[in-house]
Copies of this chain bind each other. A is one copy, B any other.
Amino acid sequence: MGPEEFRAAGHELIDWIADYRARIPELPVQAQVGPGEVAGKLPCRAPEHGEPFGQVLADLEDIVVPGVTQVQHPRYFGWFPSNASLASVLGDLASSGLGALGITWQSAPALTEVEEVVVEWLRELTALPESWKGVIQDTASSACLVALLAARERATDYSEARGGLQAESAPLTVYTTRQAHSSVLKAVALAGYGQDNLRFVDVDPVTYAMRADALAALLEADAAAGRRPAAVVVNVGTTGTTAVDPLAQIVPLAREHGMWVHVDAAMAGSALLLPEMRWLVDGVEGADSLAWNPHKWLGTVLDCSLLYVADPGHLIRVMSTNPSYLRSAVDGEVTQFKDWGIPLGRRFRALKLWFHLRLDGVEAIRARLRRDLDNARWLAEQVSSTPGWRVLAPVVLQTVVLRHEPSGAVSETGVVLDADTLNAHTLAWADSVNASGAALVTPSMLDGTWSVRVSIGAERTERQDVEELWRLLKQAVLESRPGTSPTRSPTS
């Protein structure tokens, strides 16, 4: 395709996207397709000859759109906000259009330097320590793996350069809580620590935050048993309940044992743009790394995760390679982001952050985040003050974990008496809301029982959408009959 064909098709696609975004509120939130339905509409071979653009656009409309859960919908309250602001979409288009190759500074100096500048803008906006340096990763999963690799290599004095982790004698251990995101467990497995060496620290039964005294006791016991504490992953805004582990109390314990402190603030990091929310990371100046995802609540289109580290020199030593064909005369004067993560080749991801911040402006972004926090507080108040309903965890951010409790299923103090009935009821009404397409919420296990997470923060969610959700939830409970919902495995 040449530039002029691209121009014509590009204008069509821009119009299509603008129209699509405008009519999202009319679409069902949850995709209404069954397994294999989308694949069944596609030919089983690639076309030998080029097809007209109109045909591809028609398939985008007729096959793809109905097959996508509309996370940009104002009544999307599912997993977590996954905003794709239109300003950032333009930045991403600029990146693809440029077609730059990020393998070294030399291959695209601007790709490296705009990233350095924008990541520093966000460091300043989130008040992270001035000496920290950041890099864009694809996701917090990768960022957590990178952090745990850095921790492993610090604890073993760079075993990768010798016999590897397999040559180590005393086992390295990693600490977090059962509220940690699944990516933490995955990173522990992939980095080679082994599941047996992942220690789950007890949480407070009300806040679901890590108990520092429990961590201290575990550390003492492990050290006494000859284990080597290597890292603690501190959760700031857990996926389940947005619990906030007490970083300031954890840091001194980590220092005592020489442990790496990684802060996983994947969703909550956006809140650090608000000065009144900076308490979330009190004590961060004593941490080693922190990751958060502008591609969630902030709204820079996927994939855009920020990893900040206190000691970039160490990270570079762990991740660097230096083959002859990537060397140049300016090495040593420039940043080589290939040595800050796993992939060698990198997109010009900084452009989507740059466009997003410049076109929307920080003031408007802060106002939107505050709107969402207000909406969550409003919903929590409605739920708490309505008989039969309960808010199950403190609402410190934009997520409300709630449950409707049929009489007899739960005691007055909140003890679950009849878990089977309660679970069937919860899944039934939540699934009926989701199946209707009118809104989307996420069933989730808490203390072994199903609850429902309402994660507020889609870019277009206004108060009226939260009011409508609350009406839908109450209506779904009235209409649902226990035992009619599809089951799913309760094991984790």
Contacts and interface: CB of A to CB of B under 8 A. Distances in A.
A18 B11 CA distance: 11
A236 to B, nearest CB: 18
A71 B488 contact: no
A193 B171 contact: no
A72 to B, nearest CB: 5
A6 interface: yes
A361 to B, nearest CB: 4
A488 B183 CA distance: 40
A36 to B, nearest CB: 7
Contacts of A55: 358
Interface stretch (A87-95, A199-207, A468-476): A87-95
B159 A163 contact: no
A213 interface: no
Contacts of A9: 90, 359
A348 B11 CA distance: 21
A478 interface: no
Contact of A141 (B33, B67, B72, B345): B345
Given A17-B10, A192-B160, A325-B79, A94 B42 contact: no
A78 B56 CA distance: 33
Contacts of A37: 109, 113
A334 B35 contact: yes
Contacts of A103: 79
Contact of A166 (B35, B92, B165, B303): B165
A111 interface: yes
A145 interface: yes
Contacts of A139: 343-345
A355 interface: yes
B322 A47 contact: no
Nearest to A81: B101
A51 interface: yes
A67 B113 contact: yes
Interface residues of A, number: 175
A470 to B, nearest CB: 21
Contact of A97 (B89, B194, B326): B89
A131 interface: no
A412 interface: no
Interface stretch (A120-128, A275-283, A377-385): A120-128
Given A68-B108, A109-B33, A240 B325 contact: yes
B363 A302 contact: no
A19 B30 CA distance: 39
Given A2-B86, A72-B99, A325-B453, A192 B165 contact: yes
Given A79-B101, A161-B195, A488 B1 contact: no
A114 B38 contact: yes
Nearest to A94: B60
A228 to B, nearest CB: 10
Contacts of A313: none
Contacts of A72: 99
Nearest to A149: B190
A450 B4 CA distance: 42
Nearest to A121: B46
A396 interface: no
B166 A114 contact: no
A225 interface: no
A85 interface: yes
A447 B71 CA distance: 54
A6 B44 contact: no
Given A1-B359, A325-B453, A342-B342, A71 B163 contact: no
Contacts of A301: 96, 99
Contacts of A442: 325
A31 to B, nearest CB: 5
A342 B190 contact: yes
Most chain B beta-carbon contacts within 10 A, residue among A39, A139, A361: A39
A110 interface: yes
Contacts of A66: 110
Contact of A445 (B22, B190, B324): B324
A358 B141 contact: no
12 contacts: A3-B22, A6-B87, A9-B90, A36-B333, A44-B117, A49-B361, A64-B351, A67-B111, A142-B343, A145-B342, A186-B321, A293-B345
The 4 closest A-B pairs by CB, nearest first: A164-B194, A84-B99, A67-B110, A17-B97
